[in-house]
A = this chain, B = another copy of it.
Amino acid sequence: MLITTLTVKGMSCEHCVKAVEGSVGKLTGVSSVKVHLNEGKADVNYAPEKVSLEEIIETIDEQGYEAAE
Contacts and interface: CB of A to CB of B under 8 A. Distances in A.
Taken together, the copies of this chain in the complex come to 2
A61 B18 CA distance: 20
A15 interface: yes
Determine the main DSSP class of A at the interface with B. Answer: helix
Interface in A23-57: none
A6 to B, nearest CB: 19
A19 interface: yes
Contacts of A15: 13, 15-16, 18-19
A3 to B, nearest CB: 27
A38 to B, nearest CB: 13
Contacts of A13: 12-13, 15-16
